[in-house]
Amino acid sequence: MTPKLEDVAKLAKVSKTTVSRVLNKRGYLSQKTIDRVYAAMRELNYHPNVVARQLYKSQTNLIGLLFPTVANPFFGELVDALEKNLYRQGFKVLIGNSMNDPKKEAAYLDQLLIKQVDGLIVGTHNQGIKEYDTANLPIVAIDRIMNADIPIVESDNYRGGELATERLIQRGAKHIIHTNGPIDLETPARRRRVAYEGTMQAHNLEPLTYTVDFNISAKAKKEIFEKIFQEHPEVEAVFAANDVDAALIMNVAQKLGRQVPKDFLVIGYDGTQVVRELMPNLTTIMQPTAQMAEQAVKVLGQRMNNEPTETEYILPVKLWSGTSA
C-alpha cells in the first residue's frame, strides 16, 4: 500500500499540518521536528504529492496580532519586530488595536477567528474574555496573563523594578514614588511594583505607589502626576510605569519649577529605540523587544506544531543610563 501523508504524521508523532509545513518549508519548525518528519518519510519510502501540497494550501498563513495600541512606542516597536519575524517564516499578519476595551478586544478576536488565522499573539490587558478559552487556536501572550493554558513571553519585570529603584537610591533619593497599573490587574508588570516595594523596605525607606491606568488620556495622567507633587512636595524621584509616563512626569516637574536631575530624578521603563534616540537623557529600563518578538514567534510555532511549551519565558532587561536619574 502506498504510504500517505497521515502515515508520515503518525510515525513522526506530529500533525498532518506539520508534515505539510516541513514539505513546503514554511512557518517556524524546530530542527528536531524537521529531522523526525524526514526520518519517517525515509522509513515509509514516502514521496510528496499534490495532495500534500493542497493540504498545506488549506492553511491561511495569517497570524493575528492583538495589542492595546501601536501608537505607544513599546507596542509599536514590538509589533514591528513580530511582523518582520513572522514574514520571514512565511506568514502575514492582521493587527487589532484593542485600546484595552474588552468589547473592542472581543470584537477583534471574533473577526480574527472568522478570518481563520493560524494563530494569535496577544498583548492586551483584559482577562476573562471567553473567546480565548473557546478559540481552539494556538495563542501566545506577551507580558500579559490571559489564562493558565496560554504561554507568556515577558521581560524580567522583577529585576527591572530592582534596577530602577536601586539606581534612584544610589543617586541619593529617599522619597521615591512609583507609578503602576491597577493592583487588581493580573500582569507580570506587577512584579516591578513588588520589586520596588521590597527594595525600598530593604533600605528602610517607605514605598508609595500611585495607580495610573494605562488607558486614560495624557491629560488625566498629568492631573495624577500634578497630584503627586501636591500631596508629596518632599518627593525626590519617580520610578514611572513606562517611558511615555516618565516624559509626562518630567514635563509636569518642569512646569512646577523642579529641575531634572538637579533636584528631581525620573526613571522610565521600556527603553525603545525611538525613546533612546529622541530622549537620550531619560534613564530607563530597556525591555528586549527584538528577543521577545523572536521568542513569541518561536513559541507560537511550537504550539502550532503541537509541541510542548513552557508556561513562562522571562528575558533579561538592561539599564539605559541617561542623566534623568
pLDDT at 52: 46
Contact 301, 27 (CB under 8 A): yes
**Domains defined for the chain, CATH in brackets:** 5-57 (1.10.260.40), 62-155+289-315 (3.40.50.2300), 157-286 (3.40.50.2300)
pLDDT score at 54: 45
What pLDDT does 23 receive? 78
Spell out the per-residue pLDDT of the chain, length 325, in tens.
Answer: 678 888 999 999 998 888 877 876 666 678 888 889 989 988 887 876 544 444 445 577 889 898 888 888 999 999 999 999 999 988 999 887 776 666 777 777 777 766 678 889 998 766 666 666 655 678 999 988 877 788 999 999 999 999 999 999 999 999 999 999 876 677 888 899 999 999 999 999 999 999 998 778 889 999 999 999 999 999 999 999 999 999 999 999 999 999 999 999 999 999 999 999 999 999 999 999 999 999 999 999 999 888 899 999 999 999 999 999 9
What separation in angstroms does the CA of 288 have from each of 142, 181, 284, 314, 318?
Answer: 12, 21, 13, 10, 8
Residue 69 CA, chain-centre distance (Å), reads 12
pLDDT of amino acid 94: 87
Distances (CA, A) of 63 to 1, 112, 167: 37, 9, 40
Please state, in angstroms and rounded to a whole number, the distance separating the CA atoms of residues 243 and 164. Answer: 12
Residue 71 confidence (pLDDT): 84
Q: State residue 115's pLDDT score.
A: 66
Please state whether the predicted TM-score (pTM) of the whole model is above 0.95.
no
Contacts of 288 (CB under 8 A, 6+ apart): 155, 315, 316, 317, 318
